[in-house]
Amino acid sequence: MNSTARVLVVDDEKLIRWSVSERLARRGYQVETAESGERALELITSATPDVALLDVRLPGLDGVATLRRALTLNPELVVVMMSAHSTVDVAVEAMKHGAVDFLVKPFPLATLDEVVERALSAASTRKQIATRATPGNGHAAALAAMVGNAPVVNEVRELVSRLAASNATTVLIEGESGSGKEVVARSIHYASARADRPFLQLNCATLPEQLLESELFGHERGAFTDARAQKRGLFENADGGSVMLDEIGDLPAGGQAKLLRLLEDKTFRRVGGITQLHVDVRVIAATNVNLAERVQEGLFRADLFFRLNVVRIRVPPLRERKEDLPLLAAHFVSKYNQELKREVRYISPPALELLVGYGWPGNVRELRNVIERAFILHPSADELRPEHLPQEIREARLPAPPAAEQGDGVMSLTAAERRLILEAMDKSHGNQSQAARLLGISRDTLRYRLKKFGLL
């Protein structure tokens, strides 16, 4: 047991909060409690717990929404969901969004002890992984974090190299969700003279306006309810380094005005304060929306947009750099071999063909998640095969070419299969159930093959 471990208990039932917190406190843990998702998010930013026990049903912000925002605020947080309703759908939804375990209420206290121990073990592993994944301070190490050799990636890498060597204090990074904007931002920082100073980041869409301004600029004691002590914000803590503001288009109007002032004269005031404070930070703003359109709609200040838009980097989506996909997939296999202590040797050619043929709406992040999913769900596999990939990827294959005779007059197996399916569909007048019976396969198998050949 780690007596310095911090556990957050989030439940709207006072008796549950009391009994769980009492049990954990007796075991030597530092325990905080919250009765709502909103309060939980505040504690996650201020108390930085290692593990959160989070009820699914909460007043206001529900448990799953709180889970998603919590992991955005602190990706290293390990979350265990709790619910009195044991349904597969709820558990799957929670796991999909990042929960590591699920407790069904009422649960024995011995079970609680085991789950918390497992969660703390996972928290320790995540911290070690985060430490190993942080790029080194060298220029080459920072640029190497951007995996790929496509021309568009080389252009980004060249621009990052120039920016890192410059004194530019503002950078705007544009790109779809999951395309790698954070990797680019970290590369700029760690390849620059600021590398030995902090790199801090915040997603502007995850917090209400007052709490967001407090996170960025700090607050004075008594500035608002629960402001019991003075707090330094991200900009003060990152003095001399870099601050990444993700989803900058969602920064509230008050925060936009304060940010503009900071960019213009490097000064700001804490929330509720009157003293002008001075900092030297590089602001790296990132967005997955068109900021110029936000300006036109009156949702973003034009003067702030022009101040941020001095140097702009566009991170290409994965579909524009498909030639990098095998390299990226191999990179993630190597990453999870190291982190999960596995020895997956390679990706089979059929599986790689499926990966290349998929559209990747979630970009590089989705590819990483697919590889991680395969490692988790198939712990004994020594290679990644098609059956290890999600159904949506297996069924997104490009249509096969029309049946064709080979030069020696022998039809290929693929062409023969396609012809048999066409004949069965013709004889059944398009009735899939009847066609499946004629072929001796299930209707689901028939539908899969119809999609495979572009016939559905």
For residues 27 and 21, is the Cβ–Cβ distance under 8 A? no
**What type of residue is 88?**
V
**Residue 138 pLDDT level (bands cut at 50, 70, 90):** very low
Shared domain check, 69 and 31: yes
The residue among 68, 98, 133 that closes a domain is: 133
**Residue 405 pLDDT level (bands cut at 50, 70, 90):** very low
Shared domain check, 171 and 54: no
Provide the whole-model pTM.
0.58
Shared domain check, 95 and 125: yes
Does the pLDDT of residue 150 top 90, yes or no?
no
Shared domain check, 241 and 357: no
Count how many Cα atoms sit within 13 Å of the Cα of residue 432 in the half-sphere of its side chain. Answer: 12
Does the pLDDT of residue 399 top 50, yes or no?
no
What is the tens place of the pLDDT at every residue in 264-274? 999 998 888 88
For residues 291 and 251, is the Cβ–Cβ distance under 8 A? no
Q: Which of 275, 281, 303, 169 is nearest to 218 (CA)?
A: 275
Angle at 413 between CA 407 and CA 415, to 5 degrees: 70
For residue 447, what are the contacts with CB-CB under 8 A and spacing of at least 6?
A: 432, 456
CATH, residue 273: 3.40.50.300
CATH, residue 424: 1.10.10.60
For residue 450, what are the contacts with CB-CB under 8 A and spacing of at least 6?
A: 421, 425, 432, 456
Least confident of 12-26, 38-52, 407-421: 407-421
H helix intervals, 218-324: 234-237, 253-265, 291-296, 302-308
Shared domain check, 226 and 268: yes
Shared domain check, 171 and 308: yes
CATH, residue 127: 3.40.50.2300
Shared domain check, 269 and 409: no
- Terminal Cα distance for the chain, rounded: 56
Shared domain check, 163 and 296: yes
- Location of structure tokens 């900021």: 291
**Residue 280 pLDDT level (bands cut at 50, 70, 90):** very high
The residue among 133, 151, 184 that closes a domain is: 133
Does the pLDDT of residue 402 top 50, yes or no?
no
For residue 136, what are the contacts with CB-CB under 8 A and spacing of at least 6?
A: 142, 190
| 6-10/30-34 β-pairing | parallel
Q: What percent of the chain has pLDDT over 70?
A: 86
Q: Is residue 378 part of a domain?
A: yes
Which of the listed ranges 148-162, 339-353, 412-426 does the model predict with the highest average pLDDT? Answer: 148-162
Q: Is residue 17 part of a domain?
A: yes
Does the pLDDT of residue 169 top 90, yes or no?
no
Q: Is residue 35 part of a domain?
A: yes
> How many domains does the chain fold into?
4
Q: Is residue 368 part of a domain?
A: yes
Six-digit token pair at 114?
């085991």
What is the tens place of the pLDDT at every residue in 199-227? 999 999 887 877 888 889 988 888 777 77
Q: Is residue 410 part of a domain?
A: yes
**Neighbouring-strand partners of residue 314:** 174
Shared domain check, 171 and 32: no
Tell me what pLDDT residue 88 has: 57
The residue among 394, 409, 425 that closes a domain is: 394
Residue 246 structural domain: 139-314
What is the tens place of the pLDDT at every residue in 77-99? 889 989 886 555 676 677 667 78
Tell me what pLDDT residue 420 has: 79
Does the pLDDT of residue 416 top 70, yes or no?
no
Coil vs helix vs strand at 158: helix
Tell me what pLDDT residue 124 has: 64
Does the pLDDT of residue 329 top 80, yes or no?
yes
**Residue 404 pLDDT level (bands cut at 50, 70, 90):** very low
**Phi, psi of 199, rounded to the nearest 5 degrees:** -115, 110
- Give the chain's count of helices (H) and strands (E): 20, 14
Q: Is residue 1 part of a domain?
A: no
Q: What is the mean pLDDT of the chain?
A: 83
What is the tens place of the pLDDT at every residue in 171-204? 999 999 999 999 999 999 998 999 999 999 999 9
What is the tens place of the pLDDT at every residue in 344-365? 877 887 888 889 889 999 999 9
Shared domain check, 309 and 328: no
Does the pLDDT of residue 401 top 80, yes or no?
no
Shared domain check, 126 and 183: no
**Strands of 133-264, DSSP E:** 170-174, 199-203, 242-246
CATH, residue 342: 1.10.8.60
Q: Is residue 65 part of a domain?
A: yes
Shared domain check, 163 and 271: yes
Q: Is residue 331 part of a domain?
A: yes
Chain-centroid distance, C-alpha 3:
30
